[in-house]
Every structure is written in C-alpha cells, then in structure tokens.
C-alpha cells in the first residue's frame, strides 16, 4: 500500500501503521470514517472511503485542514509563502524562526504553523502550559531549499485532492462529542495521547480520560479500532489489561525515533484493539517496522 504523507508532521504520526489499520477494515465498509484524535490526519486521509468526520482538540490542526478545504490555502499559495519565508530564514537565520514562532503564537496563522512544523526540531508539535508553540529551531537556515518546498507543496496537493474529492468534515472538539456522532454503519478510529507518556497542552491524558474512552467505545454501536501502546522494554501498559483485554488485540513492534541519535531509537510494541472480526484476521502480519520521523 502506498501511504500518502500529509504536510504536517508530529512525533505520534501513525504513517507506518496505516497498512495494518487498513487490513482491519471490512471489505464492504461504506460508512463514515470517524476519527476523534486526527493529529496529522495521516490515517483518515489514507483510509476514508467517501465520508469522514475528523476531529481533534488542537485548533491549529483543524484550522490548517479547514483552510485547505475552503481553498484559502492552495498548493500555489504554500509554494509562494515558503519561497518568501524560506528566503528570510536563509538571510536572518534562527532569529527569523523565532520571529515566526512569536507571530504564530499571537495570530495562529495556519501557514506559519506549517513553517514552524517543518523548520522546528524534528518535526515535533508541542505547546507549553499557556498554549504557545515552543519547539526550538532545527538549526538549518537553508531548510526551505527548492526540493524541500516542492516536497511540501506535493504533500499539500495530495491532501487537497483527497479533501476535495471526499466528503470530510473537520471539527475542533473533544473525543466524547465525536464518538457520540457515530452510527452503527460507521467506523471509529481512536488514537488518543498515550497514557503515562508524552504530554503537553493539547495532549494531557489521564486515567479518567482512558476510562471515559473505554465506556464510550464499549457502548458504541459502531465498529471501532483503537491504537495504544502495549509494552516497551521497561514496562507494560497496564490499561490494556484493565480496559481492553476483552476485545480483539493485534500487536506490532514499532521503533520511535525521537532525537538525532541512534540510541534514541526505542522499540515499542503497539496494539490495535477492535470490537469486530475482520476477514483478514488469519493473514494479519505481525512484523517489525521501523518508523523514522
């Protein structure tokens, strides 16, 4: 499966899991793809059949895709913006990155969000307690060289085509509301912040949240697939046993690469939990994959 990569990156992006999630979807599925925690959107953009509702509480992600939908942002606009801003970055260096970061924290311009996401350290998204983007510069003043701009513009183009040929609604709201929008023919894909792990302003996740998610997903008439972590070399996610063990669970080893050094590559076993049988259950691949981002 060729996975389409969106223009926004994040440390929790599920690019490498898209083929596994695709394998779980029933062949005849024609309902609405419902995604309460869309993040970069990579899963839904690749797997939507016709209709999707894609939500997140991070308003910057939602606004970015809404402005592509309304055509306030087009591939050409992105190209012109990155050529100009990339030139300023080249001339002024890191001072310019921080100027754009301050401007974004005041005005929340979606193009500045793209700039910071692609020129910030390791393509990370993180907001401080005041809700301000606080990722430092990647320290490459020539970040927006022509080939890199073309790559980003092509990514915007690919996602715009999906947004304009499918029926997708983007909503900034809490997961509870999104799950309640799902009907019996729909499929909910949940990728919440991993409990006990990375947190920031838009990514706090407590036991109470996990418990509420469990109640909502246990009661839904829809099909659901949940991504969570199962274990790593140090510990188990005991919430898998506490909440999810009565559902079908597939596991897969995955490498997260956070930071520049090889020894920061941490193997982690991911779990896909679901409440329905899939016709590919016997052929499900339990393999190792390397996710570098």
Ligand X SMILES: C[S@@+](CC[C@H](N)C(=O)[O-])C[C@H]1O[C@@H](n2cnc3c(N)ncnc32)[C@H](O)[C@@H]1O
Binding residues for ligand X, per CB under 6 A? 10, 12-14, 36-37, 39-40, 42-43, 56-58, 174-175, 191-193, 202-203
Q: Which residue has its beta carbon closest to ligand X?
A: 39
Strands 51-56 vs 248-257: parallel, antiparallel or unpaired = unpaired
Residues in the chain: 293
Nearer Cβ to ligand X (208/219): 208
Nearer Cβ to ligand X (45/96): 45
Nearer Cβ to ligand X (99/290): 290
What token pair was written down for 226?
A: 């949940």
Nearest alpha-carbon partner for 9 in 106, 147, 115: 115
Least Cβ distance, residue 101 to ligand X (angstroms): 19
What distance in Å separates the CA atoms of residue 242 and residue 264, rounded to the nearest whole number?
A: 29
In the chain, where does DSSP find H-type helix?
Answer: 18-24, 42-47, 59-69, 75-92, 94-107, 110-119, 146-165, 175-180, 207-219, 238-239
The answer to whether 286 and 272 have CB atoms below 8 angstroms apart is no
Least Cβ distance, residue 85 to ligand X (angstroms): 24
Least Cβ distance, residue 291 to ligand X (angstroms): 11
Hey, which residues does 55 pair with through a beta bridge? 171
The answer to whether 68 and 76 have CB atoms below 8 angstroms apart is no
Least Cβ distance, residue 12 to ligand X (angstroms): 3
Nearer Cβ to ligand X (73/179): 179
Nearer Cβ to ligand X (89/227): 227
Nearer Cβ to ligand X (7/39): 39
What token pair was written down for 244?
A: 């999810």
What distance in Å separates the CA atoms of residue 99 and residue 211, rounded to the nearest whole number?
A: 41
What distance in Å separates the CA atoms of residue 151 and residue 160, rounded to the nearest whole number?
A: 14
Least Cβ distance, residue 174 to ligand X (angstroms): 4
Least Cβ distance, residue 17 to ligand X (angstroms): 8
What distance in Å separates the CA atoms of residue 44 and residue 169, rounded to the nearest whole number?
A: 11
- Please tell me what DSSP assigns to residue 133: B
Nearer Cβ to ligand X (64/175): 175
Which DSSP string corresponds to 219-248? H-SSEEEEEEEEEESS-B-HHIIIIITTSE
Nearer Cβ to ligand X (13/78): 13
């Amino acid at each position: 499966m060729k996975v389409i990569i969106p223009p926004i990156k994040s440390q929790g992006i599920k690019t490498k899991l898209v083929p596994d999630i695709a394998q779980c979807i029933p062949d005849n599925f024609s309902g609405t793809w419902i995604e309460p925690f869309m993040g970069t959107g990579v899963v839904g953009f690749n797997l939507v059949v016709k209709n999707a509702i894609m939500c997140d509480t991070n308003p910057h992600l939602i606004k970015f895709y809404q402005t592509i939908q309304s055509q306030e942002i087009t591939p050409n606009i992105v190209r012109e913006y990155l050529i100009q801003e990339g030139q300023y970055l080249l001339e002024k260096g890191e001072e310019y990155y921080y100027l754009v970061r301050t401007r974004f924290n005041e005005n929340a311009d979606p193009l500045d969000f793209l700039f910071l996401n692609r020129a910030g350290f390791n393509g990370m998204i993180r907001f401080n307690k005041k809700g301000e983007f606080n990722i430092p510069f990647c320290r490459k003043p020539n970040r927006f060289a022509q080939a890199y701009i073309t790559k980003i513009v092509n990514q915007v183009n690919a996602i715009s085509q999906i947004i304009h040929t499918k029926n997708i609604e983007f909503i900034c709201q809490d997961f509870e509301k999104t799950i309640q929008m799902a009907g019996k023919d729909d499929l909910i894909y949940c990728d919440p912040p991993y409990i006990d792990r990375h947190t920031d302003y838009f990514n706090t996740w407590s036991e109470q949240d996990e418990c509420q998610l469990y109640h909502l997903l246990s009661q839904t008439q829809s099909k659901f697939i949940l991504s969570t972590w199962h274990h790593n070399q140090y510990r188990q996610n005991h919430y898998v046993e506490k909440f999810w063990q009565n559902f079908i669970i597939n596991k897969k080893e995955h490498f997260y690469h956070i930071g520049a050094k090889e020894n920061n590559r941490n193997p982690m076993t991911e779990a896909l939990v679901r409440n329905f049988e899939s016709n590919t259950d016997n052929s499900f691949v339990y393999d190792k994959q390397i996710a570098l981002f």
